[in-house]
Amino acid sequence: MQNHSLHRWGSPFTILGLVSTKKAPQNTLPAGAGLAPHSAAAAAPQASSHRSSHTDTAAAACGTTRYPLSTQPHGCLNSPLLASLADFDESKPPSAELLEALKEFAGIPAEASAPDSLAILAFLYMCLAISAKYGDVPSADIVVWSELPTGAGLGSSAAYAVCLAAALLRACGAISCPLKDGETTARWTEEEMTLINSWAFQGERVIHGNPSGVDNAVATWGGALRYQSGKIKSLKRVPTLRILLTNTKVPRSTKVLVVGVKEKILKFPAIMNPVLDSIDAISQECQSVLEAMPANPSPEYYPVLEELFDINQHHLNVIGVGHPSLDRLCRVTASHGLHSKLTGAGGGGCGITLLRPDTTLLAVEAAKRDLCACGFECWETDIGAPGVTLHSSSSLNAQVLHALSES
């Protein structure tokens, strides 16, 4: 049995109600077995939670952040919990009883909600459910290495879930090893990616309860996606956009923020519903601009996107998901002639800043310096990366190889 690594590409962010992914730091997860000596990369989605929860249209794009995962096989996993998953139904969320049993099995406190506890819970659920459905997943030591901050609106949980799904499905033989001799990267078939995505969604259900499915879909397929009325469709033409990603380091809970938006809609329906309709229109306008840009990459499109960024950010403040840290981020970048908005659920977390093609390195560095002086953390990246991809081990960079070897 050989060792393998899986990488998850990109982390998602919201562009005007459209979901996109940006380049973020890297993550590693050694797990499972049955893979050949390669790594897989998946794209991380980042949608506006409120856009996809309360409006009709959203779009998402994939960035270039990796989520590396490697495997060290040991044997086969036997657990009495497998019996409870024998009649697993993918159409239903994990039952509260099963999750409580998994928490007890793993020694996780009943009320635990920390990211590491949820990550362990998602892994156990996916591993046992996949074993029950497709056959034994070889047991393994699991090591996760990540520079991608959690709870910041970057789709880190979706990146994690896509990595796990691809690794576990490959380990038990439910999906193939598409990498041929001499190749450095390969993609799974559409049917196999659909399977990866469906299991990643189950992992997201464990972590978030009732996710939209946008984040795991972007992480799986990459590129850009349109989410409308519960249906997800790939956008065929998406330009590469330069983005400055800023983490305010203000923690927030997506669940709490989504509940807050729902309460405001119920309290002021005549006010809030038109705002949500406007956000929907912004998403559709942004999609039209993005799809037109590759065919006609005129600089005139960027002022339109910048204005849509500004309008969208104001709308998000109206529905109650802004935060003083995000307002400060927008003011700082505006002082450098740049336009920003929140990404993910808001309430802190991260924001994105659009960088025009003619934005100079000097201007970007000046903006980053001022943002860092606020206590924020910044990365320059772009969007439009591929989704889940299998890589040969030789294609891994030195940082990832070192992290995996040290584990």
Packing angle of the helix pair 324-334, 301-318 (nearest 10 deg) = 160
HEC secondary structure over the chain: CCCEEECCCCEEEEECCEEEEECCCCEECCCCCCCCCEEEECCCCCCCHHHHHHCCEEEEECECCCCCEEEEEEEECCCCHHHHCCCCCCCCCCCHHHHHHHHHHHCCCCCCCCHHHHHHHHHHHHHHHHHHHHCCCEEEECCCEECCCCCCCCCHHHHHHHHHHHHHHHHCCCCCCCCCCCCCEECCCHHHHHHHHHHHHHHHHHHHCCCCCHHHHHHHHECEEEEECCEEEEECCCCCCEEEEEECCCCCCHHHHHHHHHHHHHHCHHHHHHHHHHHHHHHHHHHHHHHHCCCCCCCCHHHHHHHHHHHHHHHHHHCCCCCHHHHHHHHHHHCCCCEEEECCCCCCCEEEEEECCCCCHHHHHHHHHHHHHCCCEEEEEEECCECCEEEEHHHCCHHHHHHHHHC
Is residue 44 within 8 Å of residue 24, measured between CB atoms? Answer: yes
Catalytic residue among 11, 20, 215, 280, which? 215
User: Quick one: how far is CA 10 from the chain centroid?
Assistant: 7
Look up 215 and say whether it is catalytic.
yes
The number of beta carbons lying within 10 Å of the beta carbon of residue 300 is 8
Cα separation, 331 vs 374, whole angstroms: 11
Sort 252 into a burial class: Cβ within 10 Å, 0-12 / 13-18 / 19+.
buried
Look up 157 and say whether it is catalytic.
yes
Q: Which two tokens stand for residue 122?
A: 């998602």
Catalytic residue among 11, 53, 157, 212, which? 157
Residue 225 β-bridge partners: 60, 234
Catalytic site positions: 157, 215
